[in-house]
Structure 1
Amino acid sequence: MIAYIKGKVTFIQEDSIIIDVQGIGYEIICPNPFVFQSYLQKELFIYTYHHVREDIQCLYGFKDEDEKQLFTQLISVSGIGPKSAIAILGSVHVPDFVAAVESEDEKYLTQFPGVGKKTARQIILDLKGKLTSMFFIENTVSVSNEVAGSHHLDEAKEALKSLGYLEKEINQIMPTLRNSNIQEVDHMIRHALSLLVKN
């Protein structure tokens, strides 16, 4: 297994980054590739999960060990594969997710792409009680939701900056973006782009 990779970030794509290690480019699928924008053409240490099947080999990358641990727990759930797990991680704050599982908050879990009521119930059934020893969680889901919302806004803002928008332009749309109640970072970025075009 490839536990981590250290090398120069040469490209950032919509769903992955390319890291050059001694002339070999590793494509690493990430929840939010644009969080690594500041490392473009610089050295990066990234945690990875090497997924191997008969017909495919993929590297999945994470900014910290918490993301990687949650990913490995998610793919242990019946009905959730790596693509679904990455989609969930793309719009989640880890303590928030853990708190939702522990409180059996199906409504919160079904907000993620590809997660219906049946899958949400399976997540709770398979993971409740297993995550609390791995991660710190907030006292309540509502508190951690506020933290997650702020976290998502920060990621969206950094992505917009990487696309060439000025901070002044971005700050003008932040109040609207904050009140949009959009939970997924990629959807938040798309909504922000539509607002910027209108302005």
Structure 2
Amino acid sequence: MIESLTGVVSNIEIESVTLNVHDVGYLVFCANPFRYEENINEKVTIYTYQHVREDAIKLYGFKNRDERKLFEKLLQVSGIGPKGALAILATGEPTLVVQAIEAENEKFLVKFPGVGKKTARQIILDLKGKLVDFLQESGGEDTKLIAIDDDMQLENYELEEALEALKALGYVDREINKVLPKLKDTKETTDGYIKIALKLMLES
């Protein structure tokens, strides 16, 4: 088990980042890879989970151990795979997910891609009462969006990348189109667009 990797973020894709550790590039799948766009060509530590299947071995990466802990808990729920667990964590606010589970808030949970009423109920049945320590320990990540100066030019590819990332998480065009007008009215990085879109979709 690889507990963490410390290296330079050399590339960011829709579903993953490449972390260069002593001239070895590790492909690490993340809930929102663009959270690392401010760290491109910089050294960071990514906490990892190694998922082994018959046809693939993948590394999943997280900003901190709390996110990884919740990811591991979600994988224990019937009907939740790595992709579904990443989609739930993509907001960068895992504490909200835990609070929804503890409050048996199915309405909140079904807003995530691939989570229907049956799966939401299963999440609550399997995890309620098992995440109390998480709430007590987690200080929550600073989710402040990266500011962009007025004189900076934002190209369309920033928004396009964000839309592709949302699709990779499992959101469909119908859901994305609901929040698209508000996204077009803002100037953000790719990470900023993703965070705004997820927040709007969870609030709707």
TM-score over 0.5 for the alignment? yes
Distance 1:75 1:169, change over 3 A: farther
Q: How does 1:74-93 map to 2 (within 5 A)?
A: 74-91=74-91, 93=93
Amino acid aligned to 1:50: Q
How many aligned positions are there? 164
Q: Supply the distance in 2 between the matched residues of 1:13 and 1:65 (Cα, whole angstroms).
A: 23
Partner in structure 2 of residue 13 of structure 1: 13
1:122-152 deviation digits (Å, cap 9, x = unpaired): 00000000001233399xxxxxxxx99x93x
Distance 1:97 1:31, change over 3 A: same
Q: Does residue 167 in structure 1 map to residue 157 in structure 2?
A: no
| Structure 1, unpaired ranges of 5+ | 139-146, 171-184
The alignment yields a C-alpha RMSD, in angstroms, of 2.9
Partner in structure 1 of residue 133 of structure 2: 133
Amino acid aligned to 1:72: E
Partner in structure 1 of residue 184 of structure 2: 194
Amino acid aligned to 1:47: Y
Q: Does residue 37 in structure 1 map to residue 27 in structure 2?
A: no
The worse-fitting range, judged by mean Cα deviation, of 185-194 and 45-54 is 185-194
Q: Does residue 104 in structure 1 map to residue 94 in structure 2?
A: no
Task: Give secondary structure in 2 for the equivalent of 1:136.
Answer: helix
The sequence identity of aligned pairs, in percent, is 43
1:131-174 deviation digits (Å, cap 9, x = unpaired): 01233399xxxxxxxx99x93xx3xx43xx7xxxx43389xxxx
Partner in structure 2 of residue 26 of structure 1: 26
Partner in structure 1 of residue 56 of structure 2: 56
Amino acid aligned to 1:4: S
| Structure 2, unpaired ranges of 5+ | 153-164, 167-175, 188-204
